[in-house]
Amino acid sequence: MRTGGLARFVDSPIVTLCAGRTDAGVHGLMQVVHFDTHADRPDFSWVRGVNTFLPSDIAVQWARHVPQSFHSRACALRRRYVYVVLQSPVRPSLEAGAVGWVFRKLDHEAMNKAAQWLVGEHDFSSFRASACQALTPVKTLYHINIHRRPGRPIDDGSADTRHSFEPCYWRFEFEGNAFLHHMIRNIMGCLLMIGQGLKPPEWMAQVLAARSRDAAAPTFSPDGLYFAGPVYGPQWGLPERTPAYDWLP
């Protein structure tokens, strides 16, 4: 990938390679890229200098000099994603484009139970987009963690109890060795169907075993999906997180 901001900073062409790809509408908390250059700059200059040439919604967070043997994609041991969902009877406004949305209450226990069927090495064909270019649908999920941040009930004063609701944010954390095209969004579609009581937790096992995209729920919105970055071995001395991790609910 040819990168305009970097090229303008060093006044020469730059070709970058990244740790992973994301769909349109998906956010990045810590995309990692590497490149070769003859330009000699201090690490902090690669941050502040390049950011001068980037749009306001993209910013370099850190920079490190690495050995020639480092490869941002091939050296990644694991990859992490986070999905943030707003549970509320009212659609997102300030958070529009930054969260997914459900207008029914979600069952934490049911979603946790369903998620355990996916942990481990499996054929994830049921959660694979038709355009996926991965060589194999077999991937390993190391964990799926689901957290809820409580909110305050909304009551519009009417007698209709459907308008009395407890808005909150849900955070779904995924870590695996690699992910298929739309895999997280398709898993989210299934987890939210189960969380809303539309399917039992055991349905997730049936979807996984089917190895067919037709067996799973529709692909969920990209709005609340965040690429949380790769995990590298300690020998590279690279940061594991950025300040944006603490901004998410």
User: From the first residue on, what is the mean pLDDT of each consecutive set of 10 residues in the chain (249 residues)?
Assistant: 76 88 85 92 92 92 94 95 95 93 96 98 96 93 94 55 72 96 97 98 98 96 95 94 85
Same domain for 108 and 53?
no
Q: Would residue 189 count as lying in a domain?
A: yes
pLDDT at 1: 43
Q: Would residue 233 count as lying in a domain?
A: no
93 Cβ contact partners less than 8 Å away, ≥ 6 residues apart: none
Q: How many domains does the chain have?
A: 2
Q: Would residue 241 count as lying in a domain?
A: no
Rounded CA gap, 95 and 152, in Å? 17
Same domain for 117 and 184?
yes
39 Cβ contact partners less than 8 Å away, ≥ 6 residues apart: 10, 12
pLDDT at 11: 87
Same domain for 126 and 202?
yes
Same domain for 25 and 123?
no
**What CATH number corresponds to the domain at position 85?**
3.30.70.660
Helix (H, G, I), strand (E, B) or coil at 249: coil
Q: Would residue 50 count as lying in a domain?
A: yes
Catalytically annotated residues: 23
pLDDT at 80: 96
Same domain for 88 and 52?
no
Q: What is the CA radius of gyration of the chain?
A: 20
pLDDT at 113: 98
Same domain for 24 and 131?
no
Residue 155: give the domain boundaries.
78-227
Same domain for 69 and 140?
no
In this structure, are residues 19 and 32 in contact, taking their beta carbons and an 8 Å threshold?
A: yes
Same domain for 89 and 33?
no
pLDDT at 165: 63
pTM of the model: 0.90
Residue with tokens 């995209």: 213
Q: Where are the beta strands (DSSP E) in 55-98?
A: 78-87
